[in-house]
C-alpha cells in the first residue's frame, strides 16, 4: 500500500504526455508568481515546512492547460500544484515527504520511516479535499503508527528529525 500512496502524485505528474519540464532556481523570475501564490496560503497551518531556497526545482507544465507543478527536492521532497489565472497563479495543493532517521523492514524492503503531508483542493490524490491528510510510515512500534494524524501531532516529530539529521551531517563533516 505504501508504494501506491507515494506513487499517486508521481502518476499524476507522469500522466500527461507532451509535458514541458525544466530545471529552475528558486530566484527564477518565472517562479515568482508561484511563490506569491504559495505565500498567500497559510501553508504552515496545513503542516508544510518552508521551501528551501537552495532546493533543486523542476518546473513541470502541461501545454494547453492551466496546470503547473513544481517538483522541489531539498531536505524534504514535495510537489506543489498551481492553476494559472491570468498573469498569476493559484496554489491548489501540495504533497511533502519528510524522511525520518529510523530504518525498518517494510513490504518494500529496508526503508526509512516517513511522514507524508498532503493537501489538495482539486481531488487529485483521492483524499478528502481542502484539509491536510497526514500519514506516518514506519515501524508498528512507533507511537505514530495506526493513528489519524493532525498537524499538531507531527510538528515536534519533524523538528526532532531535522535536528538529528543536522547533528549527523555535522558529525560526518
User: What are the pLDDT digits (tens) for 116-158?
Assistant: 999 999 988 888 899 999 999 999 888 898 888 999 999 999 9
DSSP-based three-state secondary structure for 53: coil
Contact 97, 76 (CB under 8 A): yes
Q: What's the pLDDT at 127?
A: 86
Residue ranges in the chain modelled with pLDDT below 70: 1-18, 173
Q: What's the pLDDT at 34?
A: 97
Taking residue 104's Cβ as centre, other Cβ atoms within 10 Å add up to 15
Whole-number CA gyration radius for the chain: 17
Q: What's the pLDDT at 14?
A: 45
Q: What is the distance between the alpha carbons of residues 30 and 20, in angstroms, rounded to a whole number?
A: 14
Long-range contacts made by residues 101-107, C-beta under 8 angstroms, separation at least 24? 101/161, 101/164, 101/165, 101/168, 102/138, 102/139, 102/142, 104/138, 104/139, 106/2, 106/137, 107/2
- Sheet containing 88-106: give its strands across: 20-24, 56-61, 67-73, 77-85, 88-106, 109-120, 133-137
Q: Count how many Cα atoms sit within 13 Å of the Cα of residue 123 in the half-sphere of its side chain.
A: 1
pTM beyond 0.75, yes or no: yes
Q: What's the pLDDT at 9?
A: 47
Q: What's the pLDDT at 11?
A: 44
Which residue reads 510537489 in cell numbers?
Answer: 79
Amino acid at each position: 500500500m505504501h508504494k501506491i500512496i507515494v506513487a499517486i502524485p508521481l502518476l499524476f505528474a507522469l500522466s500527461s504526455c507532451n509535458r514541458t519540464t525544466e530545471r529552475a532556481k528558486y530566484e527564477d523570475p518565472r517562479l515568482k508568481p508561484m511563490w506569491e501564490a504559495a505565500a498567500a496560503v497559510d501553508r504552515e497551518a496545513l503542516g508544510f515546512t518552508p521551501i528551501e531556497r537552495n532546493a533543486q526545482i523542476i518546473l513541470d507544465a502541461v501545454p494547453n492547460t492551466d496546470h503547473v507543478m513544481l517538483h522541489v527536492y531539498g531536505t524534504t521532497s514535495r510537489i506543489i500544484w498551481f492553476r494559472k489565472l491570468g498573469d498569476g497563479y493559484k496554489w491548489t495543493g501540495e504533497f511533502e515527504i519528510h524522511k525520518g532517521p529510523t530504518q525498518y523492514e517494510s513490504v518494500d524492503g529496508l526503508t526509512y520511516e516517513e511522514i507524508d503531508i498532503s493537501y489538495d483542493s482539486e481531488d487529485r490524490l483521492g483524499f478528502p479535499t481542502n484539509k491536510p491528510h497526514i500519514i506516518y510510515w514506519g515501524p508498528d512500534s512507533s507511537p505514530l503508527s495506526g493513528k489519524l494524524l493532525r498537524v499538531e501531532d507531527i510538528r515536534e516529530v519533524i523538528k526532532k528529525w531535522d535536528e538529528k539529521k543536522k547533528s549527523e551531517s555535522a558529525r560526518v563533516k
